[in-house]
Amino acid sequence: MKSDYLIVSCSLNPDSNSRKMARAAFDLLNEKGGAEWLDLRDYELPICDGGAAYSHSNVEIVAQKIRDAKCVLMAVPIYNFDVNAAAKNLIELTGRAWTEKVVGFLCAAGGKSSYMSVMGVANSLMLDFRSLIIPRFVYADGSSFDNESVSDALVKTRIEELVDTAITLTEPARQAKRANPA
Ligand SMILES: Cc1cc2nc3c(=O)[nH]c(=O)nc-3n(C[C@H](O)[C@H](O)[C@H](O)COP(=O)(O)O)c2cc1C
């Protein structure tokens, strides 16, 4: 059975740190009942042009994964004080698929100063699609990782807190759906 939780790893870098956080959140969610996984490296997507790009076959695949979820946790690289272009492009391409999702962020950055960088995209999801933004972001710079995984204890705790809050906020929607499947 499909899970209501989707982790989206948005970095296209093979040595990505945000993907390490995505894996940690994915593992935690699997311990607690299950999660789906979407790595943007696995789906070549066109740049959104507001037109023909929407017809690309991979766009429908990733849009359906988002539609199927009730909660989406986005693991994003911070580029130029914003989420990376691949993350923003995904949102541009999939638009209404985000409607009323619970959405959380795990951000990997190079330094400590870009911690508000996700706000632009969080605001747009909230205002465009009534996404419920989890007010508990994970933000980590390069010192929080080893080659394989998240090494910093505080970042690990913050990932656990994000996952627990995601479940707390998503569970009522799951129960409402179960009570009223139509
Ligand atoms: C084009 C580019 C822009 C970046 N801009 C920022 C930035 O504004 N603030 C910051 O703290 N780090 C910045 N960085 C560093 C990345 O956030 C850092 O390398 C991070 O690990 C990227 O995530 P990833 O490892 O998951 O790909 C930038 C890196 C690149 C390649």
Residues 96 and 66: beta-carbon distance below 8 Å: no
Q: Is 11 in the pocket of ligand 1 (CB under 6 A)?
A: yes
Half-sphere exposure of 97 (CA within 13 A, CB side): 20
Euclidean distance between CA atoms 82 and 88, whole angstroms: 9
**pTM of the shown model:** 0.96
Q: Give the pLDDT confidence of 79-99 residue by residue, as tens digits.
A: 999 999 999 999 999 999 999
Of 172 and 12, more confident: 12
Q: How far is the CA of 11 from the centre of ligand 1 (A)?
A: 10
Euclidean distance between CA atoms 134 and 169, whole angstroms: 8
Domains in the chain: ranges and CATH: 5-179 (3.40.50.360)
Euclidean distance between CA atoms 64 and 81, whole angstroms: 29
User: What is the reported pLDDT for 1?
Assistant: 74
Q: Is 79 in the pocket of ligand 1 (CB under 6 A)?
A: yes
User: What is the reported pLDDT for 55?
Assistant: 97
Here the tokens at position 26 are: 């994915």
Residue 174 in this model has a pLDDT that exceeds 70: no
User: What is the reported pLDDT for 5?
Assistant: 98
Atom of ligand 1 nearest to the CA of 80: 8
Residue 178 in this model has a pLDDT that exceeds 70: no
DSSP 8-state assignment for residue 134: -
Q: Which residue has the tokens 């996952």?
A: 163
Q: Give the pLDDT confidence of 162-171 residue by residue, as tens digits.
A: 999 999 999 8
